[in-house]
Structure 1
Amino acid sequence: MVVVEMSEPSAIDKVGTTPIDELHIKHVTGGSIVKFSPVFSSDAKTLFLALGNIIRAFSVSTGEHVRDYKGLEARAVGVQFHPNNPHLLVALSEQGELAHWRWKTRLPPQILNLQNIWENSTPNGFYLVPKGDDQDESCDVYVTCKLKSNKYPRLCVYDEKTGESSHDNLTRNVEVNRHGVYKIAFGGQGEDKYFAGIYKKKLYISILKKKTIDIKKIGGQRSLTCVACHQEHHMIIAGDNTGRILLWQEFFENPNCGSSVYHWHTLPVTDLAFSQFGSFFYSGGGERVMVKWTLDSPDQRLYLPRLPENICHLVVAPDNLYVAISLADNGIRVVDSHLKTVSIIQHFTWCGEGEPNNKTWFPAGLNLDPRTKSMVLNGRVGHIQFFNPNTSSLLYNVDITCQNYLTQERNKVIENTDVTKISLSNDSLWLATVEQCNNLKTHFEIRLKFWNFDEVKQTFCLNTCVDMPHGENKLLDLKIQPITTEEQLLAVTTAEDNKFKVWSLEESNTINTKYIWRCESVGFFRNFPVGEISFSTDGSLLAVAFDSTLTVWVPETNQLKCNLTHTKLNSAIRHVKFGASTCCHLVVTATDTCLGVWNLLTLTLMWVVPIRINILVADSLSNLMAAFTEENDLFVFTPMSGRPVYSHRKLRPDRFSITAAIFFPRDNKQNICLSSWQQHSQLYFLDIHQELLTLEPKETIEEANQNLEALDLLPSALSTVTPFTALLAEQSTSGVQHEVTDKTHLQLGEPGREAIRQGPAPSGAPRHDLAIE
């Protein structure tokens, strides 16, 4: 046994690998698209939102991604249209970059750096307010800054043309929402432009020109949660933590005016939005219900219930055509004036954002579905999602718990059943899941479910459901045997009862299904606490961690082959992984303090590295493994040696801790020059902010960005592409090449006629006008 140190690769070790400084972190997907409010274009056909340092545009009618607006170096803190020029799209970054795009053109943005941004402060929102001068169409830029040394925010005013700061307007307390954005709103027109902010029980109102502040208070144990102002009239609505909505009107003309109360929600109001003319407004609450209120008739209400997650933002389109609902699952739902869903913008579902005290993102980790070549991971509560990282697209969701979501109650925490473990067979025909709900005050639920893929329905259907598979003991691990013979397939579970159970697929006596799953055997070792399990690559051996002892079993007979322990590994084993390829006889174990490798042929400990491992993943297509430490350091190694083939210190800052990782088989169509350890699979990892990341050479990232920019020069995705328009495009292109002009009409032969006939009816001109018969 050799004790080594997991250090940087030496020059010799780097042969055939990519040097550390040549691999860069690439953002694949994730990140919040609901942190800031989206904004509609003036024709309500396009929706714009901020995602990192990119402004992304989506089609309202289809939800498809249209294009990206780039140019900011830092993360954007909001996006909106210029009040005096609807052709200008404006965004502000955390570094004070004010960018203007002419959004219908392909021109780069005009960027102005705001001057004298307060030191030790970070902008987290901005608002464009017209100056009210007919000769000057520019605006004042009101920027909310979060001071690091002071809990109070600061509202700074800048000139849009020069970027110079004129004065500070607000230094009082203002509430922030769950994303750290201050809860303020602007309203009114011209000289009567005003803003409102909330803090606990107080509503602050101020006319911008006068710089005076009026304070409204609410009584009792209530506190304000959100605020909205009408863009033309003196009207303010604010929600509180008991579900009430308070309306103030003509407050400047009558400083002692009272408030009207609208009350339907029982949980805190999360956001509010006025219609264009103020005759009605929308509200969202913790019940996951959006309500449409009529201002003069509070009893006339429309409801949009059972939204998939909590409401973050409500935005009304021009002429009240649509309402965009930003949800905490990182999705945006667009509905019409009758609350009918028009489109859904969602490419990566966040996990448990609305759950109370939920500190574990994606508890089921990252799993591979070989059939669809997608990742399988937690989605919204009770669901799992199938996500393709190669195309950055969400394939579909599967409802595992099949339960209605239980919303929270006042002064109570309601626990919902969620998926905690996922495992798929090698042929993707079987899916095993574990769902748990641990509410100590009321009940304890745990279910082991086996799902069979239905080729006709093209989805997973429930085959076997086992309630309390290990009694009232929490399940710790779940694995399906990696073999392709369905009749001999096994699955193994471990739990806090210090046992593992082997589940086998057997023929059923019922007419409803051909096979069902039953418990075949139970294993334990000296009543030691059981931990993680791992199958060998051919499925013939099963490694089970019992406290500090590694045990190896024959899963079919539940026969113990050997038990291994060592003084260097005297603490509980947290991770167990069988090697693959040339290392299939090696087993890697990790404790709280060490990483060690056992040789099953000689029953000896080969090497030990003193390191604290947080995540350990193995590549099924090679002999490589990846270890992530608590300090977000990455080490890629093979079990044959304690010297890493690649290492990367501080992948993410401390506040971006990594929660899950996976080696994902590389697409065969990709023809890029990579290091040797990246040839077979690509390493993906998730951080606590639910961003999916990977490592790629800088040249590859730049090439991908250039390809996206080239695609961005194509005609807008808003233009309808039909078989008829495709044929017209071919004619136009062929017409440029004069030497083949005589052959252009051949494109309108039988293939062209069939393309038009097989297309949808409204996809082109009337057929009798085409003159192709």
Structure 2
Amino acid sequence: MMTGGQSFVSSPPTFSNDGKKLLVCTGFTVSIFSTSTGMKIVELEGGHTDCVTSVIVLPVAMSSSKLMSYCWTSSLDGTICYWDFDSAELINKVNVQLPIHSMVIPNISATGTDKKASNHYAFVSVEDVNISADENKALRGKIQIFNLTNSHRVGGLLAETRNPELLSVSKNGEFLGITNKRKLHIWKIPAKDFRFDEIKKIKLHHTKNLTSLAFHPNMRMLAGGDVTGRILIWIGFGRRKFARNSQIDNGVKDATDDENPGVRGGDDAASCSTWHWHSSAVKFLFFSSDGAYLYSGGKEGVIVVWQLDTGKKKFKPRLGSPLVYFTESPDPSLSCVSCANNRIHILKMPTMEITNSIAGIKLPFPFTVEHKGYRTRVAYEQTNGLVAVLTEDYCVQFYSLFDNHEVSEVQVCKRNFQPVDDVMLYVALVAISDDGSLMGTIDVKLPEESLGELISLKFWMRGSRMAEYSLSTIIYEPHSDAGVSCLAFRPGHGMAVTTSFGGEFKAWVHGSHFKATDQLIQRTGWRCQSVGSYKGKPLSAAAFSADGSVLAIAAETVITLWEPDTNILVAVIGDTHSPITELSFIGKSEYLVSLTHGSKPQLAVWRTSKLGLFWSYKLFAEALSSSRDESQFAVLVLINSPYETNVNEDGVILLFDVENPVPVATWMVKKAKGGSLAFLHANPSFHESEATDGEKPTLLVYVNGDHEYIIFDPHSKDNITCKNTQKSHLNLEEAGRFGYASLYGDLSKSNLKQALVPEITFVPSEKPWETIFSGSSHVLPPLTKLCTTFLASLLEKRPNIDD
């Protein structure tokens, strides 16, 4: 089993002491990347069981010239771990018992090469999960202090807030601060060992909610950013409350000064000035190591460099995504900026030239527009184990599922992306042929004042390299003014089909023609071969059979079957209660599976030879995938309401064999809303799966709503539990004693092992008559057999003992 797709920008990264490594919080682990190559070196795993929220590298030892390789990490699992990250060795663990959202260690210092921590104090921002979030004005965020040497808590609470806040600390560890609505809370931390009652606190006020905070490295100065894009600079903060013997009194006005320009409500500061460039919330503030410049960033995707003495500014533009963190390296020639699109850029200072990038899978982006029928989904290039993700900046990102890194990006629309612009253009659909040689995309330009809408169908051809595509043909308005609902490629043929809500479908073929001139020129491209419709009904889904001989198209509540080459209607199947949203042929079999949403959702399996319904369930399936080689398919089902907008909604993956309506296996998963499924062939590097009889085993990949994924063998008994799945401990002897097994009898041992694996989550009922009648009515056995079995289940069976 393999996992991947974790966010690289959920928390600020940290440089090693020599600046050659970057430690990044990635899910339950910390990934260490080379700053020169951008490749992963090692991973710190096994210490945490929930998301890592901070990583702090110990600085160079004062008594030794050797660079230290030790760090502290915190996690939502309520623990703090101490690591030697060169050897990926876990040394110590401290249990805080509450989810830690942020951690800083003021006055941190290393002590030679001793692996034991010195007298360090960790300030942690935790969430009190014992307090209900529904409680009015509940203070769930708390700031506590822990002694990391003897693993015990120090003193009481520094502060309580509605939610856990991000902690900021000054470079020398003297000051600690948080933003809390319209206030900054600032604490002065005594050097070395201290008593809790020695910590002093002040508050600085503002008229807007504050979003970021940074301390000057040499002066008693701090900067705060607010939701409107303003930056406030406080000079001489704490001049009355904090002791005058501070290490950074340079530039502070004398306490006898009467004027406090810009300071609100008698706050403890000498002056406050305001700068404004950003159009929205300031996401990060950071002072340069020499204290001469202030870096700021936000939604605009631009790093603004402010000169403190003059207020002049310069810019690093076109980073292509909102910015979330800025981190400086001990090497003054290196810094990095974390972007909201799950990418970290390594910057060469002071020019801020991008020397390398660490790219994770692009995160989902919210649509600010509603467009009928478009369901933004990922596509799969199954030959090489790639996932194609639609991105906010008009690209298709190809990401290797087996290697967990970006392979390439294809720019669909030649247009500069500005994060602050209103959404006027987006890529709506992407489809890839089975062999990965062809790709199709649909991009939509939205109308301005109800004029100028443009839908473009683009076909792409793969080049000599994996996931390298070049544009072949652009077709504007492929279905006049109607939206495109589906795009599907015909296996083994240069043909694709698009369906529209306007009631027609078109078959596109790839061919070549010659231009008769002095020189013979061959041109290749896509053209429309045929057009079809069914009673003018909107068409919502399409799928080809495995051999490409049959085309199935959903026309509202019915399925139409067509001969692709001649465009002849062959048959019409059934009638569902709601419009069909997805179709898929199951392997090389005669069966077809459909999904319907709406008020009466349904998962239905159809038998094309008899043109009828084989079996069905009333459930809302978020995603569907069929195996190429086996008569199996998997569906992702939402447990709660299908109209729930929460992406963290739980779900269930059901694995079916087409001949049996009882699931072969089930898995509970997280973040099912917006998730997807796909069957893949095992990659040679996937060492957990071994090929049998020279064939690669079929694997199942689940990508959740946050684009995190897990790859596993659905038939293996050795799949271990991870964050996205749960296993049941149902043994094989118990598995055949309920439901359909009680009606049809026990399966053979060989079939039992193949059909019922340990991942099944059904639990045998103590009352077998409660499940004996479960299932679709059209596949239940005759009433006479049901009654016999029902009565038999009520009687206690005793062995016949002869006298």
TM-score clears 0.5: yes
* Residue equivalent to 1:507: 512
Which residue of 1 is the match for residue 602 of structure 2? Answer: 594
Which one of the candidate residues 111, 124, 128 is aligned to 2:101?
124
Residue 349 of structure 2 is aligned to residue 322 of structure 1: no
- Secondary structure in 2 matching 1:397: strand
The answer to whether the 8 A contact 1:362-1:378 is kept is: no
Whole-angstrom distance in 1 between the partners of 2:300 and 2:335: 18
2-structure distance, mates of 1:325, 1:233 = 24
Partner SS for 1:129: coil
Q: Which shifted more, 70-79 or 432-441?
A: 432-441
**1:184 and 2:196 equivalent?**
no
> 2:210 corresponds to which residue?
224
* CA distance 1:246–1:439, change in 2 (3 Å): farther
Task: Tell me: CA distance 1:151–1:675, structure 2 relative to 1, closer, same or farther (3 Å).
Answer: farther
Q: Which moved more, 1:507-516 or 1:419-428?
A: 507-516
Change (3 A) 1:640 1:96: closer
SS of the equivalent of 2:270 reads coil
Match of 1:266 among 250, 269, 279: 279
Per the alignment, residue 758 of structure 1 pairs with: none
2: CA distance, partners of 1:348 / 1:513: 39
Distance in 2 separating the partners of 1:264 and 1:594:
52
Whether the 8 Å contact between 1:351 and 1:381 is mirrored in structure 2 is no
Contact 1:366–1:660 (CA<8 Å) still a contact in 2? no
Is residue 2:258 matched to residue 1:239? no
User: In 2 relative to 1, CA 201–67 (structure 1 residues): closer, same or farther, beyond 3 Å?
Assistant: same
Distance in structure 2 (CA, Å) of the matches to 1:133 and 1:374:
44
- Matches of 2:124 and 2:479, distance apart in 1: 56
Contact 1:152–1:171 (Cα < 8 Å) also in 2 = no
Q: Given the two structures, how large is their TM-score scaled by the length of structure 2?
A: 0.74
- The residue type equivalent to 1:63 in the other structure is G
In 1, Cα distance between equivalents of 2:487 and 2:374: 18
User: Is contact 2:6-2:360 (8 Å) kept?
Assistant: no
Q: CA deviation at 1:323?
A: 1.2
Q: Is the 8 A contact 1:288 1:311 kept in 2?
A: yes
Whole-Å Cα distance in 1 between the matches of residues 538 and 665 of structure 2? 33
Structure 2: stretches of 5+ with no match in the other structure: 62-67, 132-137, 191-197, 240-254, 256-267, 640-650, 722-803
1:14-57 residue CA offsets vs partner (Å, 9 max, x unmatched): xxxxxxxxxxxx45211212111111111111111111221221
Q: Are 2:58 and 2:108, in contact at CA under 8 Å, matched by a contact in 1?
A: no
Look up the SS of the partner of 1:48 in the other structure: strand
Q: Closer, same or farther in 2 for the Cα pair 1:72/1:362, shift >3 Å?
A: farther
Which residue pairs with 2:788 in the alignment? Answer: none
- The answer as to 2:708 corresponding to 1:691 is yes
Root mean square deviation of aligned Cα: 3.3
Q: Structure 1 residue 638 and structure 2 residue 657: aligned?
A: yes
Residue identity matched to 2:657: T
More helix by percentage: 1
Unaligned runs of 5+ in 1: 1-25, 703-773
Contact 2:429 2:443 in 1 (8 A): yes
- Give the deviation of 1:110 after TM superposition: 1.6
- In structure 1, give the amino acid aligned to 2:540: G
CA distance in 2, matches of 1:576, 1:40: 49
Quick one: distance in 2 between partners of 1:601 and 1:497?
30
Identify the residue that residue 81 of structure 2 maps to in structure 1.
99
Q: Is the 8 A contact 1:83 1:130 kept in 2?
A: no
Q: Secondary structure at the match of 1:57?
A: strand
Q: Distance in 2 between matches of 1:668 and 1:59?
A: 25
Aligned residue for 1:199? 180
Deviations 1:521-557 (A, max 9, x none): 3222222232211111121211011121111011222
Give, in angstroms, the shift of residue 608 of structure 1.
2.8
- Residues 658 and 687, structure 1, Cα contact 8 Å, conserved in 2: yes
Shift of residue 239, structure 1, vs aligned partner:
1.5
Aligned AA (1:261): T
Q: 1:357 to 1:60 in 2, by over 3 A?
A: farther
Deviations 1:96-145 (CA, angstroms, capped at 9, x unpaired): 3221123334543222223xx4xxx5221111122899999422111101
- Matching of residues 359-370 of structure 1 within 5 Å: 363-368=376-381, 370=383
Note if contact 1:186-1:231 (Cα within 8 Å) is conserved in structure 2: no
Match of 1:717?
none
2-structure distance, mates of 1:361, 1:600:
28
Shift of 1:194: 1.9
Task: Please give the alpha-carbon distance, in whole angstroms, between the structure 1 residues aligned to 2:652 and 2:109.
Answer: 54
Aligned to 1:738: none
Shift of 1:380: 4.8
SS at match of 1:259: strand
1:538-553 matches, cutoff 5 A = 538-553=547-562
- Deviation at residue 457 of structure 1 after TM alignment: 11
Matching of residues 362-511 of structure 1 within 5 Å: 363-368=376-381, 370=383, 372-408=384-420, 414-438=422-446, 444-455=453-464, 459-484=468-493, 489-508=494-513
The CA deviation at 1:378 is 2.2
CA 1:335/1:548 → structure 2, altered by over 3 Å: closer, same or farther? Answer: same
Give the structure 2 partner of residue 257 of structure 1: 270
Task: Report how far residue 369 of structure 1 moved.
Answer: 5.3
Q: 1:352 to 1:165 in 2, by over 3 A?
A: same
2:203 equivalent in structure 1: 215
Q: Distance in 2 between matches of 1:31 and 1:453?
A: 28
Q: Indicate yes or no: 2:361 matched with 1:348.
A: yes
Instruction: Report the CA distance between 1:263 and its aligned residue.
Output: 3.0
Alignment correspondent of 2:750: none
TM-score of the aligned structures, taking structure 1 as reference length: 0.77
- Are 1:303 and 2:325 matched, yes or no? no
Change (3 A) 1:315 1:365: same
Q: Could you tell me which amino acid in structure 2 is paired with residue 140 of structure 1?
A: Y
Q: Give me the whole-angstrom Cα distance separating, in 2, the residues matched to 1:501 and 1:164.
A: 69
1:66 to 23, 29, 41: 41
Q: 2:59 and 2:236 mapped to 1: Cα distance? A: 24
The aligned residue for residue 573 of structure 1 is 580
Q: Answer yes or no: is 1:682 the counterpart of 2:699.
A: yes
**Measured at CA, do residues 58 and 358 of structure 1 come closer, stay the same or move farther in structure 2, by a change above 3 Å?**
farther
